[in-house]
Every structure is written in structure tokens, then in C-alpha cells.
Structure 1
Amino acid sequence: MESFFLYSAVILTAIIAVPAYRVIKGPTVFDRLVGTNAIATKTIVLICLIGYVFDRIGMFVDITLAYAVLGFVGSLTIAKYFSSENTNFRYDD
């Protein structure tokens, strides 16, 4: 069963490349933000899998919760910054 989680972790690491492409080539800042959130979500699962493989799941769950909270607060901060910046534009009719 441990090898299954190890192979799952390797496959999940390869899957992280898909949103990484979106972060690098995204046409807008919001596309890059969504790609970063997708990478963070997959990283949380990856850290839990690694915790199971090392038989220290309790410690790794604490690390993942802290990572999830920091990612969420960071995403909200960046989204708020860029959305408030875009509302200052005037459209002349």
C-alpha cells in the first residue's frame, strides 16, 4: 500500500506541471492566480501523501493546514489588490 501512495505522489508531481504552464503563460494576472491556487491545492495533497509514506501523518497534516491558510490568505490579498487596481479605470461613453 505504501508503494501505491509513493506512485501517486510521483504522478501528482507530474500533474502539477499543467497549472504551472498556466502560471507561466497565463494571459492575465487572474489566470496566473488561479494556476497558483491549483498548484497549492495539489501541493497540499502531495504533502499529506508524503506524510503517510514517512508514517508521520499528524505532523504533516499540521504543515498542510498552515500551508492552506497561508495560500488562502495570500490569494485573497492578491485578488483584492488587483481588483481594486482595476476599478480605478474610467470608461468614456
Structure 2
Amino acid sequence: MIAYALYFAYFCFGSALLMNLWKVATAPDVVDRILALDTMVINSIALLILYGLTLGTEIFFEAAMIIAMLGFVSTVAYARFILRGNIIE
């Protein structure tokens, strides 16, 4: 039964990732693209965690934590670039 739930979750997060990719390609504004990229990071973290659950290993959880930290830093850097025009003062 858990296998069916995992397949359903793979389908949901995979389709959400594709929809975010479409939004990145067709968004009219830079802010919309940044939000779509941030959501893509969250969906890829969810897919990594699901894959780790499927295989039963902990290494994918650590990779998800690293990607979460990088996603947060990149979102903050994009936001600072939009607000101020530079990232490092």
C-alpha cells in the first residue's frame, strides 16, 4: 500500500515540477520567475526525500538538506539583486 502512495506522490511532485518549469519559461516578470524557481527547489527536495524513502537510505535526506540551504541562499541573493541592484556591498 505504501508503494502506491509513493507512486502517487512521485506523480504529484513531478507534475508540479513540470508546471513550475513552464512558469519559469513563460512568466512575464522576473519576480514570478524567482518564485517559480524557489518552488522548483521545494519540489526537488520533496522528490529527493521520496526517493530516499523508496530506497531506504539516509544519504538522500542529507542531499535534500544541502539543496534546501542552497535554495534559501539563492532566493535571498535574487531578492537582494532585485531590490538593490547588487548582491555584495
TM-score of the two chains, using structure 2 as the length reference: 0.85
Q: Which runs of 5+ in 1 are unaligned?
A: 86-93
Amino acid in the other structure paired with 1:64: A
Provide the residue aligned with 1:11 in structure 2.
Answer: 12
Counterpart-to-counterpart distance in 2, 1:3 and 1:43: 20
Write out the 4+ residue segments of structure 1 that deviate beyond 4 Å after TM superposition: none
1:33 to 2:34 alignment: yes
Q: Which runs of 5+ in 2 are unaligned?
A: none
Q: Secondary structure at the match of 2:56?
A: coil
The higher relative CO (CA closer than 8 Å, separation ≥ 6) is in 1
Counterpart-to-counterpart distance in 2, 1:51 and 1:3: 16
1:60 to 2:63 alignment: no
Instruction: Give the structure with higher Rg (CA).
Output: 1
Provide the residue aligned with 2:23 in structure 1.
Answer: 22
The answer as to whether partners of 1:9 and 1:46 remain within 8 angstroms in 2 is yes
Amino acid in the other structure paired with 1:37: D
Shift of 1:7: 3.3
